[in-house]
Amino acid sequence: MDYRHEWKHKINRSDLLALRQRLQAVAAVDAHAILGRYRIRSLYFDNARDTALFKKIDGVNRREKFRIRYYNGDTSLIHLEKKSRQNGLGNKQTAVLTRQEAQDIGEGNTDWMLTHPHGLVREFYAKIRTEGLRAKTIVDYTREPFFYAPGNVRITLDYDIRTGLSCTDFLNPDCLTIPAGDAPILLEVKWDSFLPDIIRDAIQLPERHVFSFSKYAQCRIYG
Q: What pLDDT score was predicted for residue 174?
A: 86
Comparing CA positions, the residue from 177, 190, 172, 185 lying closest to residue 222 is 177
Q: What pLDDT score was predicted for residue 31?
A: 81
Residue type at 76 in one-letter notation: S
Query: Cα torsion for 52, 54, 55, 57, to the nearest 10°?
Result: 120
Domain ranges of the chain: 5-218
Q: Report whether 122 contacts 114 (CB < 8 A).
A: yes
pTM over 0.85: yes
Q: Which residues of the chain have pLDDT under 70?
A: 1
Burial 36-63 (b: 16+ CB within 10 A, else e): ebbebbbbbbbbeeebbbebbeeeeeeb
Q: Report whether 168 contacts 102 (CB < 8 A).
A: no
Output the CA angle 143-119-139, nearest 5 degrees. 25
Q: Report whether 7 contacts 154 (CB < 8 A).
A: no
Assigned CATH class of 5-218: alpha beta
Q: What pLDDT score was predicted for residue 2?
A: 84
Q: What pLDDT score was predicted for residue 209?
A: 86
Which phi and psi (to 5°) does residue 59 adopt? 70, 30
Q: What pLDDT score was predicted for residue 1?
A: 65
Q: Report whether 104 contacts 167 (CB < 8 A).
A: no
